[in-house]
Structure 1
């Protein structure tokens, strides 16, 4: 792979992260709108829309960005890292980063809270901290992090297989 291709791959992974960020903004905005005493706004939808448009652009034009970021090289300037293994490593690192940055801090808050609620024999439905809108993003992030880590080979195969071969299968 050339340095531009590696950066292009990183740009595509970044676009995936942007989609998750946009979904979080929608969730946080909905949560803020549900707070009593605050005016309702739809600005979070606008922000999410812009972020998703950026993610779509980065997904479909990663090499345009890569060529702007990395100086032009010749095709003989190749890094000897097998593409499949590089994508597998990138997916695993991305999944572990998601787990460490988002899932683990949330679990550090909710697990002790859950233990206290169960120990005091309170109903989870009555606990404001366990509203679906607050716990659902954590569950989704955990699922995505596990998918990225444990299915990295399948993701690599999907990302590196030419579209013609994908359509034939």
Structure 2
């Protein structure tokens, strides 16, 4: 398996209470992953299925770096969810390892069934297993429903983020 940050592989497999199972994303999943990014109120304005080349390049970089995991929730052959988990070492907080979660998406027909929560509980356990002391994520200010979802999982809105587009 590619992409595992630690000496042991992550615990891949069925998500408790769901038909879907977690596994590493493969290049064959790319069209479905981009569809999940497009099927989003913000993503439909910044993502596109017209040209997969930039996504393919990004996938190859993510897959080649053992600090990053591109995760798929699959129900048989169908990709029904995804997220990226990156492990960031740092000097702050006594040299803490952080788990950074990005691009959490659940297919529209699977939303509201607990799949996203199960995926994030897996993330939290994987971060613990890897020795991370913190799991962090960012969420666009406009995503009030997502903010309630993350708060329900124990995340707190503790910082203000800044971006500089290049």
Could you state the TM-score of these two structures normalised by the residue count of structure 2? 0.23
**The structure with more helix, counted as a fraction of residues:** 1
Could you state the TM-score of these two structures normalised by the residue count of structure 1? 0.23
